[in-house]
A and B are shown apart, each in its own frame.
Chain A
Amino acid sequence: MDFELSQDHKVLRDSVREFVEKEIKPIAMQIDEEHMIPDSLVNKMAEMGFLGSYLPEEYDGAGLDMLSYAIVVEEVSKACGSSGVLISAHTSLACGPIYTFGTEAQKKKWLPALNTGKVIGCFLLTEPDAGSDAGAISTTYRREGDEFVINGSKIFITNGGYRGTGVLFATSDKSLKHRGVSAFIIDLNSPGVEILKNEKKLGIRGSYTTAFALDSVRIPAENLLGQEGQGFKIAMDTLNGGRIGIASQALGIAEGAFERALAYSKERKQFDHPICELQAVQFKLADMYTRIETSKLMTYKAACLKDAKKNYTAESAMCKMLASEAATYVTKEAIQIHGGYGFICDYEVERMFRDAKITEIYEGTNEVQRVVISKILLS
């Protein structure tokens, strides 16, 4: 067993880190305040290849592996959780399923623009009454000649505000439950697609979280992804991979907060000594670091298993659960170490605290992760 990153992965990590330090860190606070990632940053990340990291070069991806992707999301999220989830949702939830389930024609048509960031991808599954119970969606589709006609609504769509390319789930008959669900590739500029709103949120404020109304939206029949009725399987498989992205995002947020807390504990003096000399603070740092390292091991393991084309369902659920809980714990303790200053926006750990919470919820709540893990144990 070798727990060292390869030289190639180290080169990648250092390059991404350098980019993040210079291009993202200085504007992370602005992204949170303005509820928006500047287009200039999205373009720069696209030029860096962050939006198609593990997709093959023949579709204009960077051709790297899942571990590289995890490292990219982690490093970006150290500075900005909003930018991290933009990459994660785009890559795992839009590029990912089109690559895995798409026909050659679909891959050639849709992936190059996504992989190079010319359009931003999203995943339209969640509805007002279908969250964890994804088989219960009520957005419908029906065939009309060479087209599918879609009606319904979608909420909480990460990256939806970019109106790029979506992977959309709809049912032919709600009574069939998950067996009635099919997946489609949708251009979100199509007539009948209406953005109802971009949500205001506790954290990851720079990331769009969009509600859509879909009113008789016509999709060419060739945009069916996989077979009819295969949609639920596609959704579950996609989320399985997506969890590695969210774990990486959570891990990055935790590391970002930890770096600040560690540095602050050495600078801040009380009772004539740096507070890092107090055992109360030392124990916090030890607990925080241990949770980060544990999460990192599991996240990288899940990524490596996926790269090795082995089953990684349990590991992706465990890493998502571990890393998101590490993120909420570490960011909370980072504020505590900062004392009153931590509660103030300028010290940034309060933003990280707000950004962390969603990682316990999206791409499968941690309760759902526990269901996934225990099902595997008991199957």
Chain B
Amino acid sequence: MKILVCIKQVPDMESRFRPNGEKTWYDESDLAFRMNEYDEYAVEQAVQLKEQLGGEPEITVLSIGPERTVEAIKKALAMGGDRAVHIRDDRYYQKDPWQIASMIASYAKGEGFDLIFTGMQSQDRGSAQVGVIVAELLGVSCATTLVGFSYDGGTITVKRELEGGIKGVAKLKLPALVTCQLGLNTPRYPTLPNIMKAKKKEIASLTAAELTGEAELTATAAIYPPAKKGGGLVLEGEIGAQVDRLMGILKEKTAVLR
């Protein structure tokens, strides 16, 4: 079995975000980076499947981004990936989900992956489109927002998180692509011996130019922080009157008292 895991390196959400000079992305000089959280669930699930199948599947990790992206790739390899492909692209942030997915699909097309794992969305851009577009371009079945996964004899059974707290169960035949959601598993820590072993694993390097001729379908016009909100509404006066006003606001503007 050949497994592909698509990961992204994203800014740590505790970083300080400021628009860059072009006002189309963040100023990266202030940012710390880490593997996209949802992609960690994807890596973990792939490694668990490999373990379930006695180590037979080969796990390839793929990521698109600048030189620093290798840090996220190395983490995925230390978690249990076997080899990696780094698609070097310093202008990755200018590419829309269509272009990113086209690059991944054009790499994956000839490789014959049986199963592709990825996060359900990235924590920075959050479009949740790349996974499903890749599935469409490759013509494989697809299930999104996984909170449960099992594999048995060429079929995967997945539990999906739907809106309003409802879960759905789906069965898919391979080849397939799945996107992973919080709650699917607990990603393992890379251990020191595995970090050492990861150093010896192959990281193939491709350039974005080798993989995409697609033009963008959406372009980022501007990125800016939300306007500062006012300081909220402070109720004053006699306590009974305050309660009445609060009740009125809650009835009028929210669903909590209906």
Partner-B contacts on A (CB < 8 A): 7-8, 10-12, 14-15, 18-19, 47-50, 52-53, 57, 62-64, 68, 72
Contacts and interface: CB of A to CB of B under 8 A. Distances in A.
A11 B201 CA distance: 15
Given A15-B189, A48-B189, A49-B191, A57 B74 contact: no
Given A8-B74, A11-B75, A11-B78, A47 B191 contact: yes
Contacts of B71: 7, 10-11, 14
Contacts of B195: 8, 11-12, 15, 62, 64
A14 B74 contact: no
A12 B192 contact: yes
A46 to B, nearest CB: 10
Contact of A57 (B34, B68, B78, B193): B193
Interface SS of chain B: helix, strand, loop or mixed?
Answer: helix
Contacts of A19: 189
26 contacts: A7-B71, A7-B74, A8-B74, A10-B71, A11-B71, A11-B74, A11-B78, A11-B190, A11-B198, A12-B192, A15-B191, A19-B189, A48-B189, A48-B191, A49-B192, A49-B193, A50-B192, A52-B192, A57-B193, A57-B196, A62-B191, A62-B195, A63-B196, A64-B195, A64-B196, A68-B192
Interface SS of chain A: helix, strand, loop or mixed?
Answer: helix
Interface in B74-92: 74-75, 78
Contact of B193 (A18, A63, A72): A63
B199 A15 contact: no
B69 to A, nearest CB: 10
B101 interface: no
A19 B75 CA distance: 14
A14 B196 contact: no
Interface of B: 34, 68, 70-71, 74-75, 78, 189-196, 198-199
B189 A64 contact: no
Contacts of B190: 11, 15
Among the interface residues A7, A47, A52, which one has the most CB atoms of the partner chain B within 10 A? Answer: A7
Contacts of A47: 191
Contacts of B78: 11, 15
Contacts, number: 53
Contacts of A11: 71, 74-75, 78, 190, 195, 198
Contacts of B192: 12, 48-50, 52-53, 62, 64, 68, 72
A62 to B, nearest CB: 4
A62 B196 contact: yes
A19 B193 CA distance: 15
Nearest to B69: A7
A72 B193 CA distance: 13
A209 B191 CA distance: 28
A19 B190 CA distance: 9
Complex A-B, nearest 7 residue pairs according to Cβ-Cβ distance, in ascending order? A49-B192, A62-B192, A15-B190, A63-B196, A11-B74, A62-B193, A49-B193
Given A7-B70, A7-B74, A18 B189 contact: yes
A183 B141 CA distance: 66
A127 B198 CA distance: 44
B189 to A, nearest CB: 5
A15 B199 CA distance: 15
A53 B195 CA distance: 11
A48 B190 CA distance: 8
Contacts of A7: 68, 70-71, 74
Nearest to B68: A7
A14 B71 CA distance: 10
Given A8-B199, A49-B191, 15 more contacts: A7-B68, A11-B75, A11-B198, A14-B34, A14-B75, A15-B78, A47-B191, A48-B189, A49-B192, A49-B193, A52-B192, A62-B191, A62-B193, A63-B196, A64-B192
Contacts of B193: 49, 57, 62-63
B26 to A, nearest CB: 19
A334 B39 CA distance: 38
A205 to B, nearest CB: 26
Contacts of B194: 49
A34 B192 CA distance: 29
A239 to B, nearest CB: 24
A47 B190 CA distance: 10
Nearest to A20: B189
Nearest to B189: A19
B18 to A, nearest CB: 18
A10 B74 CA distance: 10
A12 B75 CA distance: 8
